[in-house]
Amino acid sequence: MNQIRLASIQDETYLKKSIQAAYHEYPRLIARGNGSLEVAVERVLEDVSAEGFAHIAEDNGKVLGVSWWVAENPEEMSVAYYVEPEARKNGVATQLLEAGLSEAKARGARSSLIKTHPENAASISLARKVGFEPVVALLRQAL
């Protein structure tokens, strides 16, 4: 059985690598201003350490994945996650999201959101599986 734990400062390198890998897989997610992957990763790390948290999934000391949670406002947290390719389709992401939802609720959040690419069927399916519902269609055009 996988273990889920809160990330610590010792996990920063893994968290940074995972954020970069997640954003690299879906480059449109970094289109928040200057579009630099490195800047986006640093911004996420700052947000997580300032007003959020991260969970690490492990099996016998091997890290399988991570989720990171950031406060959008005092009552809502956004979540993103990354699971190592060899650990996918084994329930790791589900465990990370369920643990994170409990933690977010314990911290006073009343809702949570996931931002994902509309073509990411696996992420959309997972989000619905753990109780997320679509609320808006956001369309963007680069100028």
Quick one: which of 27, 19, 24 has its CA closest to 46?
Answer: 19
pLDDT (tens digit, 9 = 90+) per residue, 61-73? 999 999 999 999 9
Percentage of the chain beyond pLDDT 70 is 92
Q: Is residue 23 part of a domain?
A: yes
For the entire predicted model, the pTM comes to 0.86
Contact yes or no for 130/98 (Cβ under 8 A): yes
Confidence of residue 126 (pLDDT cuts 50, 70, 90): very high
Q: Is residue 62 part of a domain?
A: yes
Contact yes or no for 96/66 (Cβ under 8 A): yes
Task: Identify the three-state secondary structure at position 94.
Answer: helix
Domain that holds residue 89: 3-129
85 burial type by CB count under 10 A (0-12 exposed, 13-18 middle, 19+ buried) = exposed
Which residue type is seen at 11?
D
Q: Is residue 84 part of a domain?
A: yes
Residue 28's pLDDT is what? 54
Q: Is residue 142 part of a domain?
A: no
Q: Is residue 136 part of a domain?
A: no
Q: C-alpha dihedral over 85, 88, 92, 94, to 10 degrees?
A: 130
The structural domain count of the chain equals 1
CA distances to 24, 50, 57 from 27, in Å:
5, 24, 24
Q: Is residue 72 part of a domain?
A: yes
Query: For residue 55, what is the domain's CATH number?
Result: 3.40.630.30
pLDDT (tens digit, 9 = 90+) per residue, 31-62? 555 567 788 788 888 999 888 999 999 999 99
Q: Is residue 140 part of a domain?
A: no
pLDDT (tens digit, 9 = 90+) per residue, 96-111? 999 999 999 999 999 9
Please provide the average confidence, as pLDDT, over all residues in the chain: 88
Residue 56's pLDDT is what? 98
Q: Is residue 108 part of a domain?
A: yes
